Amino acid sequence: MKKILMLVLFFSVALCPVGAKDYVKMQLKEMKHAQKYGTTQKVLQNQHIQMNKTVTKSEIKDPKIMKFGNYETVSQADYKKKLKSDEKKYEDIKKNLSKSASKHYKTQADAADFYKVYRVAEKLIRANKLDYINWRVEIYKDSVNPNAFSTNTNYIALSTSIIDNFGDNDDAMALIIGHEMGHALLGHQERTSRLAMKMQDQKMLAKRGNYVSAAAYLGMRQKYRTDSKNMEYAADVEGAKLALHAGYNLDSGSEVISYFSSLPRRYEWQNDHPNPVKRLQNLQENAKYFPAEWDEIGKVNIYNSEPMPARLSSDRRSMVISAPLEKLNEKSYYAPETMEEVYARFGYMYYINGEFSKSINSFEKLFKLDKTNAPAYLYASYASEYLYKQTNDSKYLKQAKEYALKAQSLDSKNHYIKEQVNSL
C-alpha cells in the first residue's frame, strides 16, 4: 500500500504543469546573500591600524621622562650608511642560498622565496635581539591554504600560499612571521601542549566509562578553545611589537588579517582561532598604546649588529638563520614585557590619550609591584590633577599631591617633580 501511495505521489508531481523559472527573481534573492558573504569589502574594510592617534591636548603635561626599554639613538645618516654596507653582505647570502639548491633534493620553494622570507625574518631577529639561537623557517607546499604555524621555540613554517598572497608586502610578512615568533616568546607551545595532554588524559578515562572525566573533558575542551583564542590575540600583539621595533608599517601589514576575514571559516564556538574581525579590533586597540619611540630600539640593534648568515637545512624544506657564535649576556636579549613594564606603559599611554581614570588604575597596579618608579608617580600625579580639574572632586587633588610627594621622595633633584609639587 505504501509503495502504491508513493507511485501516485510521484506521477501527480511529474504530471503537474511546471511554470517557467523566474531567473531574475532567483538572482535578486542570491544577491541578498552576496551582501553578507561577498569578499571584496571583507578584505578592504577596517584594515588600517590607527596607531598612536592620540587625543592629547596641548595643555597636558608631558616632560617625556618615561622610558620603555633601554635604548640609545642613532643618526639617520649613520643608520642609512650601515644599511648600505649590509646590502653588500646580503648579496653574498642571496648567492649562497641559490647555490644550495641541489638536483638530488626536491625543494619546495626556490631560492628567491627563501631569500624573500629570510630578509623579513632576519630583520625581525636583529631588530629585536632574538639572535640568541638559530631560527629555522620552513616553506611547505600548499597552494590552497594560506597558513603559518610555529613549533618548539625557534621553528616557523609558512605555506607557499602565504608567500603567493603576501610575498610582495614585507609589512604583512613581518606581522605573519612576528606572530609566530610571538607564540614562541610567550611560551604558547608548552602551554598548549600541557592543556592538550590534560584533555587527552580525561578523554581516555571517559572512554572507560568515567562520567566525571567525560564532563571534565568537555569543560577542558571549551577552555582549550578559549585559551587558544586568547593566545592568538596575544601573539598578534607581540608580533606587532616585534614588527614595529623593526620599522615595519602596521597599517600596511594589517592587510593580512583583513584577508583572513574573507575566507570561509567555522562558527566561533567551533574554532580555536578568533574571528579575524575581532583580531583586527584587538590589534587596533592595542596599537593605540604603542609608544612612538619603539622604532628606535630596532634601529640601534640593527646598527650594532651584522647580517646573519642563512643556509638551506638538510631537508631542503627549511632554512637556518644562524645566530652569532659569540653570545651576549642573557639580560641583553629580547624578552616579553614584565608586568611592571606593561602597567607603566599603559599608565603613560592612557594618560597621553586623555584616559585619566584608566591611567591611574594602571599606575596603581604598577605601584603594587614597584614602589620605586619616580616618573610613574609623577604621571599618576598629572592624571589625578586633570581628573580634579574635570570633576572638581577634592579626593583627586589630594591624590595628586600624594603621588607628587612620593615621586619627590624617590628623586628629589628632578626638576619636573619639584615643579609639580610646587604647583599643587
pLDDT at 9: 47
pLDDT surpassing 50 at residue 8: no
Q: For residues 146 and 271, which has the higher predicted lDDT (pLDDT)? A: 146
What is the C-alpha separation between 67 and 71, in angstroms, rounded? 9
Of 102-111, 155-164, 286-295, minimum mean pLDDT range = 102-111
Taking a C-beta distance cutoff of 8 angstroms, is the pair 147, 161 a contact?
Answer: yes
Q: Give the length of the chain.
A: 424
Domain boundaries of the chain, sorted by first residue: 76-332, 339-423
How much is the average pLDDT of 209-226?
82
How much is the average pLDDT of 220-246?
89
pLDDT at 54: 47
pLDDT surpassing 90 at residue 137: yes
Taking the CB of residue 172, how many other CB atoms lie within 10 A of it?
25
Q: For residues 7 and 408, which has the higher predicted lDDT (pLDDT)? A: 408
For strands 135-140 and 155-159, give the pairing: parallel
How much is the average pLDDT of 296-323?
91
Q: For residues 173 and 208, which has the higher predicted lDDT (pLDDT)? A: 173
pLDDT at 268: 58
Q: Residues of the chain with pLDDT > 90: what percent?
A: 49
| Crossing angle (nearest 10°) for helices 415-423 and 394-410 | 150
Q: Is 259 left (phi over 0), alpha (psi -120 to 50) or beta?
A: alpha
Q: Sorting pLDDT into bands at 50, 70 and 90, what band is 13?
A: very low
Tell me the fold of 339-423.
1.25.40
pLDDT surpassing 90 at residue 356: yes
Read off the pLDDT of residues 52-86 as tens digits, 9 standing for 90 and up: 544 455 578 999 998 887 667 889 999 999 999 99
Read off the pLDDT of residues 256-288 as tens digits, 9 standing for 90 and up: 888 887 776 665 555 677 888 888 888 989 999
